[in-house]
């Protein structure tokens, strides 16, 4: 009988203790989630401008390596087709190397599209270079590139530019 009375007297204390422990656990978890959220917000405040700058730089890269932009920037002068092809490819490579580090700020999918765009433009220039006599004036290569560009169903950098715009807009 004494044990029953003792158990009845202890039961409310045990229930209060369990309720206290559960409340403490819930509060501790809640505080941890709040701190993690706060940390995430602070990190986002720091990285968002850097990531947006990376999207800007990669967009500029796509614009600078687009065939029409390359042809305007890299004048033909007295070059042969083969020399001009080398100048165009070297310009693409230089732009590429200058922006290579931006890949850490964009998704893998977007980076793959940027790589593909660079490859498409380089391949296009090489294909056109193969169709023109190597010793011809560079203007012939220029004309061939522009003609091929007009025949294409989509611009060589279009998919990458679209992905860059879409991903950047989702950041904001």
Cβ–Cβ under 8 Å, residues 164 and 59: yes
Q: What is the pLDDT of residues 88-108, one digit of tens each?
A: 999 999 999 999 999 999 999
Q: Alpha-carbon distance 84 to 71, whole Å? A: 10
Q: What is the pLDDT of residues 22-74, one digit of tens each?
A: 998 999 999 889 988 888 888 778 889 999 999 999 999 999 999 999 999 99
Q: Alpha-carbon distance 144 to 141, whole Å? A: 5
Look up the pTM and report it: 0.77
Cβ–Cβ under 8 Å, residues 92 and 65: yes
Helix axes 108-131, 81-99, angle to 10 degrees: 170
């Amino acid at each position: 009988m004494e044990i029953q009375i003792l158990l009845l007297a202890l039961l409310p204390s045990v229930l209060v203790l369990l309720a206290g422990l559960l409340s403490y656990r819930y509060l501790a978890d809640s505080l941890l989630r709040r701190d993690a959220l706060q940390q995430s917000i602070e990190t986002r405040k720091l990285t968002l401008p850097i990531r947006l700058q990376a999207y800007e730089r990669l967009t500029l890269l796509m614009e600078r390596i687009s065939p029409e932009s390359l042809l305007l920037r890299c004048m033909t002068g007295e070059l042969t087709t083969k020399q001009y092809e080398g100048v165009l490819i070297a310009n693409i490579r230089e732009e590429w190397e200058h922006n290579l580090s931006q890949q850490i700020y964009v998704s893998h999918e977007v980076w793959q599209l940027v790589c593909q765009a660079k490859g498409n433009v380089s391949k296009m220039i090489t294909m056109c270079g193969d169709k023109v006599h190597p010793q011809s004036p560079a203007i012939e290569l220029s004309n061939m590139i522009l003609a091929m560009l007009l025949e294409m169903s989509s611009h060589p950098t279009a998919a990458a530019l679209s992905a860059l715009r879409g991903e950047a807009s989702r950041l904001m």
